Every structure is written in structure tokens, then in C-alpha cells.
């Protein structure tokens, strides 16, 4: 049946010999192969990702972008359970036209690894990871950050902004730790029948007042950011970027000041000074139950966030020292590598091109996967032509620069030979030709505290390979402070780059 319901039949003209069935099959196969087939593999980031959640988000966004760019409606979308060699997986299929006006059949896959880390990381692991990361990052700001890339040592300098950011992060982390310690102490004292307000009246009053201020600012900040995020939607009126960015540093400054007050509140002179304020005494006397109850609830929420989100980073990111997550890290890599290799190894209907995309921590996994595929191809007797068939490496909301900087060995503690061996596992920083002929687009937002533009994956002194360098592209609509990390999914920037490489 044809598309419009008519019956298609090949008719032999007078004097023409009927074509054999084999020839007809070859002709049909050639017609099918005329349509380009492109696979897109998306790897999700940290957190409690549900099955098909990221696959659905990418497919929906890409379909919407394809319809706008091609000015043609996508006829139908198919959800398929597919067999790729020995691997059974799910994918989304649809047909569209690419930028050149050619018909393309697009298959979207997902690298799903979230269940592997569930319940594997404790709060103790996360806190040790964060304090260790801050300490090692600060060490790398002393004497300049050096990295072995493209066959030589590349010096990126002292990174003063990184030093300031790490000091601020360490201070806020210590403040949160102190907050949790005080909540635990006061709660235990009440449970045991004590009354901290009677034994330490001034100090208890000061801590309660500062805790109330901390909670009020946090709630107000969350409400404002949520409202701004709802207002800043794709297809609706967008808030001006400078307005949103102007809120970022005042928020950080407010939390820093409150964190400082939290430590000062324990000092006798501050408690005595605050005792002279009637408003502070009234807040402490009338609202202590609500304040400490709210802080306990907030502490529980922060704990869940650290374990579920930061815990994934702690489990996956290769640390500068040996840790207990090595086996888990290898399982995550093996899971995503298996689906990626199966896509490239498809034989009956091979893909003309493959696009690899990763969000947040998924960008780090995607980067590792592509490096592993290139190395595997170089050692294989039946190569899959990974370099020629990979059309795009897309990273968005990516912490790749942070992981490269914070978790690197300090140059004084290592040797050029050891660094060269480590770099040999990453062909993408081994040589521009032939490994970096793949387009690498990095979408970032300066309002996103997780991502940034990538500068530690190119030789800053070598400009002859300009077209092979990372193409950093800002998402000008992902601008809500602290929430920009998830706003990439709402905007067209990510999907536009994928469409342009179909």
C-alpha cells in the first residue's frame, strides 16, 4: 500500500523481460538505503532519573525543533523495542528532513544507568567526597594548573576565580555541617529532658534568631527562583538575562553572610549584643519550635539532595585517590558503552551517522564512552569507523572542566610519564588529528553552577586547529540562577545543534 492508500505495482513494458525477484529485492533495498538513518544516544545526568524520562524529553524536543526547522510536520512517532546484536533495548523512531532537505530516519536511544547508584552512597561518602574535592582543588590553584594534552604539558595558570569559588564552597559546606550539628545537639538535649534555653539563654536565643533568618531567606529565595523559572519558559516572554544574572551573586552573598552569622552566633559577645534586641528575643521565645522544626525538615531535604544527586557524582567521578566506588564506576561505564557499541555495530541496517549527547554528569559518561569507543576501534580487527560516523559530541550542563581541574593530581605529585599514560586513555586530548575531527559542541549557562564553558580540553597556545576545538555555545534562555541546570530541556539550543547534524 502506498502512503495515500493506492496499490504500488511494477508493470513490464512490451519487449521488456520481467525482472527477477532478486533484482526487485535489491532495488527495494537500494530505495530504503537512500533514506539516511541517524542514531542519537542521550545519557542522563545525576539524580533519580526514571526509565525513558530522558529519552522522552530529548525525542519530544528534537521532534518539535525538526518541525520548526524543516517546516514540515513529523508524520508519526514510533516507540520500538529493538534488537541490536545481543542487546535488547527501546528506542523512539521518527522521519523528518534534515537541514539539507534530505529525508532522515532518526532513532533515539538512552544510556540509562540510574539504578546502579541507588542506595550505594551514604551521606558520609558524599561529605568526604566534597571536602576532599575542595582540598584537592585548592592545592591545584597553587603554582598553576598543568595538564598533559596533545603530547605536551599545558599550563593553564593559577585560576584565581577557581580558588575563590572553592573557598566559598568550603565555607558554605562547613556552615551547613555546623547547622546540622547544632540541630542534632539541641534535639538530643530536648529528647533527654534538658532545656538548652535555660542553660545557655543568650547563646540559645542568638542561634535561634540566626536560624530563623536563615530559614526565612532560604524559603523566600526558593519561592522567587521558582516563580522566575515558571516565568522564563520557551515560547513565552523571557526575562532579561542581566536581570536574572544580577540576582545570582546577591543570593550567594546573602547565604554567605548568614553562614558567617551562624558561626558568630556562638560567640558570647554577639549573643550579649543580640540580647538587647526585643525583636530577636520575641522571635526566639515565640517561634523556637517552628524554627527548629523547619530547619530539621530542611536538613533532611538537603541530605536527600546530597545523597541522590551529589552522591552520583561521588560514585562516578574518577577521584585523585583510590576509593571504594571503582567497581560501580566500571559498571556504569560498561552499561553505557554496551548500548553505544551496539548502535555502531548494527549490521543489517547500519547507521549513516551517530550523535552522542550527555547532560550534566551524563556528559562526563558520554565523553568517557566516546574515548573508549575510539580506543576499541583502534585495536579491533573489524573497526566500526567510529571517528567517521560520529557526527556530533554534544555536552550540555557539563561539569567536565570542574572534574578535570578538581580531581586532577597536583603536578608536583606526578610525572610526565604518568600523565601521558593517563592521557592515552583519552584520544580526544591526545591529538587533534584524527581524533578531534568530530564536532564537539558544549552548551552552557553562566547561571548554572554545575556547568561552564570548556577550556581544559584544548591547547590554549595552539590555534592552527581552530575548527577542531570545543565549540562553546551559551544557552541564553537558561538564565534562572541555580535552576538553569535543568532549563536546557525547555529551550531549543540543545535540540537545534542535534538537528543541524542529522
Contact present, 367 and 390 (Cβ < 8 Å):
no
* Residue 165 DSSP one-character state: H
H or E element that contains 484: helix 484-487
Q: Is the model more confident about 236 or about 67? A: 67
Q: Give CA angle at 238 (237, 242), nearest 5°.
A: 150
Q: Give the whole-angstrom CA distance, residue 77 versus residue 79.
A: 7
For residue 3, the model assigns a pLDDT of 33
Q: Give CA angle at 497 (491, 500), nearest 5°.
A: 130
Q: Give the whole-angstrom CA distance, residue 458 versus residue 468.
A: 9
* Residue 24 DSSP one-character state: H
pLDDT band at residue 6 under the 50/70/90 scheme: very low
Quick one: cell of 124? 558520609
Pairing of strands 353-359, 36-43: parallel
Q: Give the whole-angstrom CA distance, residue 393 versus residue 376.
A: 18
The arithmetic mean of pLDDT across residues 224-234, rounded, is 66
Q: Is the model more confident about 90 or about 9? A: 90
Q: What CA dihedral angle connects 179, 181, 183 and 185, to 10 degrees?
A: -150
User: What single string gives the DSSP state of each residue in 211-232?
Assistant: HHHHHHHHHHHHHHHHHHHHHS
For residue 358, the model assigns a pLDDT of 95
Describe the strand order of the beta sheet including 353-359 as a list of residue ranges.
Answer: 77-84, 87-97, 103-111, 36-43, 353-359, 390-396, 439-444, 471-474
For residue 7, the model assigns a pLDDT of 31
3-state secondary structure of 152: strand
Q: Is the model more confident about 420 or about 172? A: 172
Q: Give the whole-angstrom CA distance, residue 244 versus residue 481.
A: 7
Phi/psi for 12 (5° steps) reads -85, 130
Phi/psi for 351 (5° steps) reads -80, 140
Contact present, 98 and 352 (Cβ < 8 Å):
no
Q: pLDDT per residue over 15-66, tens digit each?
A: 444 445 555 454 444 444 468 899 999 999 888 788 899 999 999 999 999 9
Contact present, 298 and 215 (Cβ < 8 Å):
yes
Residues forming a β-bridge with 103: 97
Contacts of 481 (CB under 8 A, 6+ apart): 225, 244, 245, 247, 248, 251, 447
Query: Could you identify the residue written with the cell 580558588?
Result: 163
pTM: 0.81
Question: Is residue 364 scored above 50 in pLDDT?
Answer: yes
Question: Is residue 104 scored above 70 in pLDDT?
Answer: yes
User: What single string gives the DSSP state of each residue in 293-361?
Assistant: HHHHHHHHHHHHHIIIIIHHHHHHS--SS--TTHHHHHHHHHHHHHHHHHHHT--SS--SEEEEEEETH
Phi/psi for 165 (5° steps) reads -65, -40
* Residue 17 DSSP one-character state: P
Q: Give CA angle at 327 (375, 450), nearest 5°.
A: 75
Q: pLDDT per residue over 414-431, tens digit each?
A: 555 666 666 667 889 888
Q: Give the whole-angstrom CA distance, residue 403 versus residue 45.
A: 14
The arithmetic mean of pLDDT across residues 365-384, rounded, is 91
Question: Is residue 178 scored above 50 in pLDDT?
Answer: yes
The arithmetic mean of pLDDT across residues 192-203, rounded, is 56
3-state secondary structure of 129: helix
Quick one: cell of 246? 544580577
Least confident of 126-140, 430-444, 477-491: 126-140
Amino acid at each position: 500500500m502506498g502512503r495515500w492508500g493506492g496499490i504500488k505495482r511494477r508493470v513490464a513494458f512490451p519487449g521488456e523481460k520481467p525482472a527477477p525477484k532478486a533484482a526487485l529485492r535489491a532495488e527495494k533495498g537500494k530505495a530504503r538505503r537512500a533514506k539516511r538513518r541517524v542514531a542519537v544516544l542521550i545519557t542522563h545526568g545525576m539524580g533519580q532519573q526514571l526509565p525513558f524520562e530522558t529519552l522522552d524529553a530529548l525525542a519530544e524536543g528534537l521532534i518539535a525543533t525538526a518541525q520548526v526547522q524543516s517546516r514540515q510536520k513529523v508524520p508519526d512517532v514510533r516507540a520500538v523495542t529493538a534488537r541490536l546484536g545481543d542487546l535488547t533495548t527501546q528506542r523512539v523512531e521518527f522521519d523528518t528532513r534534515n537541514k539539507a532537505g534530505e529525508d532522515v530516519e532518526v532513532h533515539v536511544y538512552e544510556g540509562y544507568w540510574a539504578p546502579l547508584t541507588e542506595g550505594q552512597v551514604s551521606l558520609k561518602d558524599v561529605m568526604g567526597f566534597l571536602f576532599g574535592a575542595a582540598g584537592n582543588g585548592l592545592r591545584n590553584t597553587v603554582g598553576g594548573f598543568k595538564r598533559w594534552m596533545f603530547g605536551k604539558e599545558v599550563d593553564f595558570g593559577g585560576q584565581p576565580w577557581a580558588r575563590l569559588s572553592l573557598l566559598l564552597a568550603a565555607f558554605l559546606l562547613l556552615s551547613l555541617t555546623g547547622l546540622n550539628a547544632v540541630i542534632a545537639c539541641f534535639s538530643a538535649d530536648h529528647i533527654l529532658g534538658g532545656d538548652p534555653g535555660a542553660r545557655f539563654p543568650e547563646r540559645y536565643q542568638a542561634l535561634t534568631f540566626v536560624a530563623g533568618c536563615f530559614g526565612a531567606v532560604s524559603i523566600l529565595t526558593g519561592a522567587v527562583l521558582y516563580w522566575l523559572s515558571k516565568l522564563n519558559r520557551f515560547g513565552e516572554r523571557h526575562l532579561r538575562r542581566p536581570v536574572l544574572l544580577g540576582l545570582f551573586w546577591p543570593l550567594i552573598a546573602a547565604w554567605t553572610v548568614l553562614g558567617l552569622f551562624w558561626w558568630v552566633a556562638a560567640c558570647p559577645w554577639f549573643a550579649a549584643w543580640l540580647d538587647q534586641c526585643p525583636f530577636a528575643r520575641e522571635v526566639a521565645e515565640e517561634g523556637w519550635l517552628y524554627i527548629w522544626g523547619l530547619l530539621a525538615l530542611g536538613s533532611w531535604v538537603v541530605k536527600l539532595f546530597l545523597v541522590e544527586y551529589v552522591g552520583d557524582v561521588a560514585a562516578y567521578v574518577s577521584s585523585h585517590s583510590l576509593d571504594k566506588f571503582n567497581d560501580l564506576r566500571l559498571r556504569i561505564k560498561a552499561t553505557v558503552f554496551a548500548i553505544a557499541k551496539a548502535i555502531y555495530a548494527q549490521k543489517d541496517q547500519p547507521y549513516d551517522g551517530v550523535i552522542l549527547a550527555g547532560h550534566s554528569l551524563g556528559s562526563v559518561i558520554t565523553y568517557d564512552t566516546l574515548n573508549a569507543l575510539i580506543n576499541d576501534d583502534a585495536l579491533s580487527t573489524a573497526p566500526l569507523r567510529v571517528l567517521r560516523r560520529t557526527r556530533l559530541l554534544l555536552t550540555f550542563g557539563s561539569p567536565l572542566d570542574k572534574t578535570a581541574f578538581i580531581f586532577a593530581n597536583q603536578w608536583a605529585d606526578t610525572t610526565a610519564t604518568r600523565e601521558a599514560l593517563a592521557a592515552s586513555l583519552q584520544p580526544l586530548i591526545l591529538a587533534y588529528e584524527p581524533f578531534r575531527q568530530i564536532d564537539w559542541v558544549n552548551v552552557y549557562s553562566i547561571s548554572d553552577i554545575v556547568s561552564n564553558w570548556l577550556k581544559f580540553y584544548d591547547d590554549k597556545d595552539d590555534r592552527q586547529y581552530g575548527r577542531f576545538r570545543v565549540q562553546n555555545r551559551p544557552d541564553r534562555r537558561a538564565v534562572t540562577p541555580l535552576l538553569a541546570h535543568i532549563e536546557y530541556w525547555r529551550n531549543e539550543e540543545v535540540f537545534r545543534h542535534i538537528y543541524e547534524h542529522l
